[in-house]
Structure 1
Amino acid sequence: MKYIQHQFEVMKAVAFVTYKEWSAYRTHSMVSIFVGPVYFIVQYFIWTAVYGGRTEINGMNLSQMIAYFGASTLIGYLTMDFADWNLQMLIHTGKFLTFAMRPIHHRFFAFSQKVGHRFLGMVVEFIPCYIILTFLFGVDMVPKRIGWTVLSIALAFLMNFYVHYILGMTAFWFVQSSGIRRVFDLLSGVFSGAFIPLVFFPLWLQKLLFFLPFPYMSYVPAMVFTGSFNLAGISMSIPVIVGCQGIAVVCTMMLSELIYKASIRHFNGVGA
């Protein structure tokens, strides 16, 4: 119990410092208040034109599609991650060595940073954008299953962090890893459902995505928000798909630990 309390206090301290640090640049974050709604407007007009007089496409009606993109926009504010960029910078500059000697796991430190950073994002990005979508555009942004939606977003928060941290650890092995990050960002944008719902992809690809981390980063929480889930012709109840999301997060956490141990051995070898 004391260990857990200590870890919580450490997380709270790091998160608070990160919040204060990034608060100095909050105008940078506030730019996305306009980016999110503009992105939503574009999607709104595109899909309104696509649906035309049709009531349903690939199992989604127009109102559900609009809610999906509204939820996807808001969830992005809560789960956005920068652990890969931060870790790669520390490794390439040699500053990671100072963290390796500290009595705190760098991954936990990075996670605590994300908590503080995304709390600031919730204040200056999520809440204003939620108000804009709800009162200016009249979109119903109340989740169908609030409890499951919160849990799914929390799991997406973890998935985004661990996937990006794994991506950041490529810097232990490659001299220049920024190209890997750019490729991943492109794949993530496409296969996480941020650009288009995954039900519009070929059936074989939808089946493959069940075994990749991308859907659990955005598509799943957005669909849980709408109150139904369908992928590859498979309809799942909300508790079942959130359970699958939880299993995917645990597997990613275990993979992260294995790669971290291998990376540290490699880092120590090179540093010697």
Structure 2
Amino acid sequence: MTVYFDIIRFSFLRFFSYPFEIIATVLKRIVEIVFLVLFWSIYIKSSGISVSLPQITAYFLIAMGVADLTMSHWGALSSLIGNQIKSGHISNYIIKPTKLIPALYAISLGRNGMRLVLALINIAVGLSLMPPKTPTSLLFFLLFLINSWAISFAYNILEGTLFLHFTDAFGIRNSIQNFIRIFTGAMVPLYMFPSPLKEILRFSPFPGMVYLPANSLSSAFALNGVGLDLGIGIFWGITLNLLAFSLWNHSMKKYEAIGI
């Protein structure tokens, strides 16, 4: 485990060699939040939905924080896998005395360390704007967050596997990410979806990636049905990871790495 922590630390420290990139990351996050809050505040006023501005602001702050912590929003791990496969540099990691996926995941965490720091700040600010009603909400947030990580990790592996089968899978990956941003609740809270679609999505893995952990900390969170939501999330977390690693291992056996 020590070697993976060293990889994270080394990759994170390299980021500080580019101060303008740090500033750009912070500014980008501020613009994203301001845009989403302004858009949905205008929509709420025009549609008459009973959601306050602090509530929607807190939701998006927490949702973006969760999405960054779990890599469900931007797929840093899948992007790294794709770049390494496309360049042929993945062979350098295959021959090293470390496990491939944990090593690449550690690099992703280190390179995106500033995103993770901003994610924690987002969640903290969101909680200050709209504190949870009960301590139980914090417990469910942790449970949903763990589940979100499991689903998002599998999603990154599945996306990364695409690069073993397609010459340039970035176009497919971008299309999937646009789909993910909408149906996970990262851009549109699922309680604003029409009821039939909302019920269908409830039994999919998408709410568990962002919406459920973010909503568990909001004032609108209700314990009614939370057991079912947790059960569905656990099912998808286990199923998708089994599927992801099965496809990854099968695909890697057929992959002829450059230089090996």
C-alpha contact 1:84 1:168 (8 A) present in aligned 2: yes
- Write the deviation string for residues 92-125 of structure 1: whole angstroms up to 9, x where unpaired: 22222232333332111122223334544333x2
143-152 vs 98-107, greater mean Cα deviation = 143-152
Compared CA separation, residues 270 and 103, structure 1 to 2 (3 A): closer
Match among 56, 76, 87 for residue 65 of structure 1: 56
C-alpha contact (below 8 Å) 1:55/1:62 kept by paired residues: no
1:250 aligns with 238
- Structure 1 residues 195 and 90, CA gap change in structure 2 (3 angstroms): same
- Equivalent residue of 1:247, what SS? helix
Cα deviation, 1:15-62, whole Å, max 9, x if unaligned, reads 1122122332354244232333333333333333444398855xx565
Matching residue's letter, 2:60: F
- In structure 2, distance between residues paired with 1:63 and 1:129: 14
Unaligned runs of 5+ in 2: none
Unaligned runs of 5+ in 1: 1-7
Contact 2:15 2:111 in 1 (8 A): yes
Larger relative contact order, structure 1 or 2 (CA cutoff 8 Å, min sep 6): 2
Partner residue of 2:4? 11
Structure-2 residue corresponding to 1:200: 192
Alignment length, in residue pairs? Answer: 255
Q: Label 1:39 to 1:99 Cα distance change in 2 as closer, same or farther (>3 A).
A: closer
TM, length-normalised to structure 2? 0.80
Residues 60-109 of structure 1, C-alpha deviations (whole Å, 9 max, x = no match): 56553332122113223323331112111211222222323333321111
Determine what percentage of the aligned residue pairs are the same residue: 18
Residue 172 of structure 2: which of 180, 204, 210 is its match?
180
Other-structure match for 1:139: 129
Which whole-Å CA distance do the structure 2 matches of 1:182 and 1:67 have between them? 27
**Closer, same or farther in 2 for the Cα pair 1:262/1:228, shift >3 Å?**
farther
Counterpart pick for 1:225 among 209, 214, 217: 217
TM-score by length of 1: 0.77
Write the deviation string for residues 137-171 of structure 1: whole angstroms up to 9, x where unpaired.
x7236685223323423432343232122111111
Aligned-pair RMSD on alpha carbons? 3.3
